[in-house]
Protein backbone atom coordinates (compact mmCIF):
# COMPACT_ATOMS: atom_id res chain seq x y z
CA UNK A 1 0.00 0.00 0.00
CA UNK A 2 1.74 3.17 -1.20
CA UNK A 3 0.29 6.07 0.76
CA UNK A 4 1.22 9.65 0.01
CA UNK A 5 0.24 13.03 -1.30
CA UNK A 6 -0.89 13.51 -4.90
CA UNK A 7 2.09 13.80 -7.25
CA UNK A 8 4.48 12.31 -4.68
CA UNK A 9 5.52 9.51 -7.04
CA UNK A 10 3.20 6.68 -5.99
CA UNK A 11 2.00 5.89 -9.51
CA UNK A 12 5.57 5.85 -10.84
CA UNK A 13 6.62 3.49 -8.06
CA UNK A 14 3.62 1.25 -8.77
CA UNK A 15 4.52 1.13 -12.47
CA UNK A 16 8.14 0.27 -11.64
CA UNK A 17 6.94 -2.55 -9.38
CA UNK A 18 4.75 -3.92 -12.16
CA UNK A 19 7.65 -3.78 -14.63
CA UNK A 20 10.46 -5.14 -12.48
CA UNK A 21 9.10 -7.37 -9.71
CA UNK A 22 8.64 -11.07 -10.32
CA UNK A 23 5.13 -12.39 -10.69
CA UNK A 24 1.94 -10.63 -11.67
CA UNK A 25 1.31 -7.29 -9.95
CA UNK A 26 -2.11 -5.67 -10.20
CA UNK A 27 -2.21 -1.89 -9.66
CA UNK A 28 -5.24 -0.65 -7.75
CA UNK A 29 -5.97 2.62 -6.03
CA UNK A 30 -7.13 6.16 -6.58
CA UNK A 31 -6.21 6.27 -10.28
CA UNK A 32 -8.06 3.02 -11.03
CA UNK A 33 -11.09 4.10 -8.99
CA UNK A 34 -11.66 7.29 -10.99
CA UNK A 35 -12.79 5.18 -13.95
CA UNK A 36 -15.48 3.33 -11.99
CA UNK A 37 -16.74 6.12 -9.73
CA UNK A 38 -19.92 7.83 -10.93
CA UNK A 39 -19.26 11.47 -11.89
CA UNK A 40 -21.56 12.79 -9.14
CA UNK A 41 -19.38 11.08 -6.48
CA UNK A 42 -16.04 12.21 -7.88
CA UNK A 43 -13.37 12.61 -6.79
CA UNK A 44 -14.45 9.70 -4.55
CA UNK A 45 -11.51 8.31 -2.59
CA UNK A 46 -9.39 11.06 -4.14
CA UNK A 47 -11.21 13.70 -2.08
CA UNK A 48 -8.53 15.99 -0.77
CA UNK A 49 -8.23 17.45 2.71
CA UNK A 50 -10.24 20.50 3.56
CA UNK A 51 -13.88 19.50 3.65
CA UNK A 52 -14.53 20.85 0.13
CA UNK A 53 -17.23 18.30 -0.73
CA UNK A 54 -19.13 17.40 2.45
CA UNK A 55 -21.97 16.26 0.17
CA UNK A 56 -19.97 13.18 -0.88
CA UNK A 57 -18.04 12.51 2.33
CA UNK A 58 -20.62 9.96 3.50
CA UNK A 59 -19.68 7.81 0.48
CA UNK A 60 -15.91 7.93 1.08
CA UNK A 61 -15.82 5.11 3.69
CA UNK A 62 -18.00 2.93 1.45
CA UNK A 63 -15.77 3.54 -1.57
CA UNK A 64 -12.65 2.74 0.44
CA UNK A 65 -14.32 -0.43 1.78
CA UNK A 66 -15.04 -1.52 -1.79
CA UNK A 67 -11.45 -0.82 -2.85
CA UNK A 68 -9.93 -2.68 0.10
CA UNK A 69 -12.28 -5.64 -0.35
CA UNK A 70 -11.11 -5.78 -3.98
CA UNK A 71 -7.48 -5.64 -2.85
CA UNK A 72 -8.15 -8.49 -0.41
CA UNK A 73 -9.93 -10.53 -3.09
CA UNK A 74 -7.01 -10.16 -5.51
CA UNK A 75 -4.56 -11.19 -2.81
CA UNK A 76 -6.63 -14.21 -1.73
CA UNK A 77 -6.61 -15.38 -5.35
CA UNK A 78 -2.81 -15.34 -5.29
CA UNK A 79 -2.27 -12.10 -7.17
CA UNK A 80 0.21 -9.52 -5.97
CA UNK A 81 -1.27 -6.06 -5.54
CA UNK A 82 0.35 -2.63 -5.43
CA UNK A 83 -1.96 0.12 -4.22
CA UNK A 84 -1.69 3.88 -4.80
CA UNK A 85 -3.71 5.88 -2.26
CA UNK A 86 -3.59 9.07 -0.25
CA UNK A 87 -5.13 8.33 3.14
CA UNK A 88 -5.94 11.32 5.34
CA UNK A 89 -8.64 12.20 7.83
CA UNK A 90 -8.99 15.92 7.13
CA UNK A 91 -12.58 15.83 5.93
CA UNK A 92 -15.24 18.16 7.34
CA UNK A 93 -15.32 15.63 10.20
CA UNK A 94 -13.03 12.64 10.89
CA UNK A 95 -14.09 9.51 8.99
CA UNK A 96 -11.47 7.12 10.46
CA UNK A 97 -11.17 5.28 7.16
CA UNK A 98 -7.67 3.80 7.55
CA UNK A 99 -8.33 1.50 10.55
CA UNK A 100 -11.30 -0.05 8.74
CA UNK A 101 -9.25 -0.48 5.57
CA UNK A 102 -6.49 -2.22 7.52
CA UNK A 103 -9.05 -4.51 9.16
CA UNK A 104 -10.22 -5.63 5.72
CA UNK A 105 -6.69 -6.85 4.95
CA UNK A 106 -6.28 -8.83 8.19
CA UNK A 107 -4.41 -12.08 7.67
CA UNK A 108 -2.97 -11.02 4.31
CA UNK A 109 0.67 -10.12 3.58
CA UNK A 110 0.56 -6.32 3.61
CA UNK A 111 3.16 -3.60 3.82
CA UNK A 112 2.03 0.01 4.30
CA UNK A 113 4.62 2.41 2.85
CA UNK A 114 4.55 6.17 3.36
CA UNK A 115 5.72 7.99 0.24
CA UNK A 116 7.22 11.36 1.06
CA UNK A 117 8.11 14.08 -1.39
CA UNK A 118 9.17 17.69 -0.81
CA UNK A 119 6.29 20.11 -1.33
CA UNK A 120 8.24 22.15 -3.88
CA UNK A 121 8.62 19.02 -6.03
CA UNK A 122 4.91 18.22 -5.72
CA UNK A 123 3.98 21.78 -6.71
CA UNK A 124 6.37 21.70 -9.67
CA UNK A 125 4.90 18.38 -10.87
CA UNK A 126 1.38 19.73 -10.43
CA UNK A 127 2.16 22.86 -12.45
CA UNK A 128 3.85 20.83 -15.19
CA UNK A 129 0.84 18.54 -15.54
CA UNK A 130 -1.69 21.31 -16.07
CA UNK A 131 -3.28 20.38 -12.73
CA UNK A 132 -6.77 21.18 -11.78
CA UNK A 133 -7.94 17.60 -12.18
CA UNK A 134 -9.78 16.21 -9.17
CA UNK A 135 -7.33 13.32 -8.89
CA UNK A 136 -3.55 13.18 -8.80
Q: Is the pLDDT of residue 135 over 80?
A: no
The model's pTM is 0.89
Task: Name the DSSP letter for residue 40.
Answer: G
**Could you give all domains of the chain from N- to C-terminal order, each with its CATH number?**
2-128 (3.40.50.300)
Calculate the alpha carbon distances from 132 to 80, 88, 95 in Å.
32, 20, 25
pLDDT tens for 74-87 read 999 999 999 999 99
- What is the mean predicted confidence (pLDDT) over 107-131? 92
Query: How many whole angstroms separate alpha carbon 134 and alpha carbon 84?
Result: 15
Phi-psi bin for 78: left (phi > 0), alpha (psi -120 to 50), beta? left
Query: How many whole angstroms separate alpha carbon 62 and alpha carbon 74?
Result: 18
pLDDT tens for 35-72 read 999 999 999 999 988 888 999 999 999 999 999 999 99
- Three-state DSSP class for residue 126: helix
Amino acid sequence: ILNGAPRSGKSSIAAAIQETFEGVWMALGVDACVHVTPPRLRPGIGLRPGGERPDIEAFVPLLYAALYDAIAAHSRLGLNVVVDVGHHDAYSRPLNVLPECARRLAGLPVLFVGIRCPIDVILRRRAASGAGTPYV
